[in-house]
Amino acid sequence: MIDDLNKLNQVDFIEELGWIFEHSPWVAERAWSSRPFRSLAHLQKSMEDVVEQASGEEKLALLRKHPDLAARVQMADASVKEQAGAGLDALTEEEYKEFLELNDLYKEKFAFPFILAVKGHTKESIRNAMQTRLKLSERNELEEALNQIYRIAQFRLETVIKN
């Protein structure tokens, strides 16, 4: 519950929510000072504001903390579950190679991994999104990647907080 989060000291708050933004507990650390949170939406907006107010370097570092979609690498438990839910843990060898190629093209162009809130997506819709977003400008894609991170955070917060 949101009331319980409002009662936490900063260390405990970070322990509870530091994972919401992939390997970036600094978001929760800075959002803590916005207490008391009136709702899940207020907490989420406070965390998004922290990211929006971060330096360009911090935003880029946050983006780079996300794993490549469909990558067979060590990643945060939340990312593993999210990707499995979209079928990215069961790709054929050909599909896997295609995702690797798309990930490489994307990172070469934008210098951070492709990020998508995969809940509700299939491997086909993810592939289509990657192909479409590769055509965006750097500025537009940075904005879209951050919006996707905010959606991921919303889904993660919803699993933790029951209003």
Catalytic residue among 23, 42, 66, 121: 66
Identity of residue 51: V
Note whether 28 and 47 are within 8 A (CB): yes
Report CA-CA distances (Å) from 3 to 29, 36, 68. 18, 8, 35
Indicate if 42 belongs to the active site.
Answer: no
Query: Residue 23 has which token pair?
Result: 């390997």
Note whether 50 and 14 are within 8 A (CB): no
The residue among 153, 154, 148, 150 whose CA lies nearest residue 133 is 148
Query: Residue 35 has which token pair?
Result: 């207490």
Catalytically active residues, by annotation: 66
